[in-house]
Structure 1
Amino acid sequence: MSPSPAGGPAAPAIRTVLGDISPADLGICDAHDHLFLRSPQLPGQELDDAGAAAAELSAFRAAGGAAVIQWTPYGMGRGAAELPRLARESGVRIVAATGLHQAAHYTPEVLERVRADLAGLFVSELTEGIGGTGIRAGMIKVAGGFHGLDRHARHTMAAAAEAQRATGAVIGVHLELGTGAPDVLDLLCGEWGVPPDRVILGHLNRSPDLVVHRKAAEAGAYLAFDGPSRAHHATDWRLPDALAALADAGHGERILLGGDTTTAGARSVNGGPGMPHLLGRHRERLELALGAGLVTRFLTANPARAFGADWPRAPYTDRGPGRAPTA
């Protein structure tokens, strides 16, 4: 990436675990997935095997993939120290996340430890590095609830908004079963002033409400349809119609696609569809319905634009009483 002119604004860049790259260099991107993930909500299905992660990346690369955005946030076993090696060995660009999921994914002790300076934690991980690794996150992950936002979600989103203003990073939002998009946009963009194009609404395939989809796209947010590996979702068959409706309304530039592999059993190396499915049967199906050119845009130009940010050169100083520990 070319340096910006002296004194001028920085050129947009995507912050990978191996450093910043030009958005033009991102390539075919799985815009929402997980190489590592741990939660008490998924006992016995942890993604904690670096060898399996390497095999999954290799299979994704063989299918034509070039980049993976890992949405695993703070305290959920991100495997940050492993990510640079996996990126180098696989040739797949990896973006890590900071942020915080729903309260149910953490112990009360963890939440108490980070609550006082959550924005400082997010900014530190985006600009300095995760823990002592020096590996910087490239996005913020937060989460809503089922058709609503509880106190934890509002607190976390307020911190995410502060971190977004300080860094320019995009905020990716887990929508529980695809619901609650209007409430999220009202809070992040209406109350907290986050630009809509700095918000990615995740899991919209799980709630095929075409009216909500269109309104979110009209607002300027990115819409992530991310979970073809979740075969138990009966709404998957409606995905081509939902994407076609958005494209026909002129919102094709707002669509992102991802795999969202969240359990060991869902990995392709364990017999599931995993990351390669996104670029295999899933892509083929969408291309039959929408055309190859449009689907390629969903996988390349759109994520390149969504995850690019004008990262700050000056350090963030507006912090609370102490920086929260990292994990």
Structure 2
Amino acid sequence: MSLLSSIISNPTGFKPHQPLIILQSSSAQTCYPILRNLISNFRPTTQTLLFCFLHPPSNLTNVDETPNIITFDFTGRIPGYDDLWCGPQDEILARVNSVPPGSLNVIIDSVDTLASDLGSAPKAYKFIRTLLGLVTTRSESSILAFHIQPSPLLELLTQNSLSPTLMHLTAHPPAIITHIASAYFTHPPPAGPAEKFWSVFIPFSERTHESERLVYGPEGNGTSAGAWVSKGTREFVVEILIRGGSKRGVERSVEGWKGDVPCDLQALDSLASIWTRRNAEEARPDPTQNVSFNLNLTPSQEKSRAQVPLPYAHEGNPATTAGAILYDPDSADDIDDDDPDEDLDI
């Protein structure tokens, strides 16, 4: 089972327990299919509270078929346009505190919209910190998961000071993988070295304008960001970061999403070109094969060649200090010790 499939099927099963899950979208790619799939796989015996600030609950779950999920729609409560507006913090905290002891899932869509309603990122961070404290102190494993887009709040919520353990799932358009493979000759693991791939992928993906250019630019198809693209054509790439897992460090991987389920990157039709090109490169014939002479050296020949003295005129000359200029006169050079201007009456 892939890492992403394990997270979706049993988010509380990781050791140590990961109470905080961040699902990140961008203007070039949505991660809502992951969020919907995660919610649909919650255990029926676990109480789930879904607080919606960006999209209505019906876009994320079927309430009639999931009685264990209680939804709260805040999409119509907009500061400055609602005469009865009041901050949602107290209501959310009261709802969480009212749930009987046991496992609890708290979902917020989206926390950056919540920060806008509260007026600042620090206020939203303080609230999330309080909410996470209520989740982590419950008697059974519980999680706080929220959806977010790139914003100043994201940097605060991924710090160790908030939670030493973290699951961070980021959706990217497949065009990023295609571009890196063609422009930097770098393939994702296991097709290429992991260190090389992440050294290129991380800084590139953090420049959001690059993703937007690849999708919406002259050569892009402009379809990666559709939040409700049909399942049959939906494909994107998921960057997975797990902090404080079994390895007690940071674990990164990249997987695919096709239709409505996780998959390997090789299963994405949008990335078929990079695997074809790589296989063609690996299948190129070796130019040293099938020739009438041997271009390779045996180990003994390599050793013998290394022992051959090089014909340098000044090799071993103690005068070859740093900055010295050594010159060997050519046979045609007219070099003598006489003054060439001795016949001049100066």
TM exceeds 0.5? no
Which structure carries more helix by proportion? 1
TM-score by length of 1: 0.35
Higher relative contact order (CA 8 A, sep 6+): 1
- TM-score under structure 2 normalisation? 0.33
Give the number of the structure whose alpha-carbon radius of gyration is greater. 2
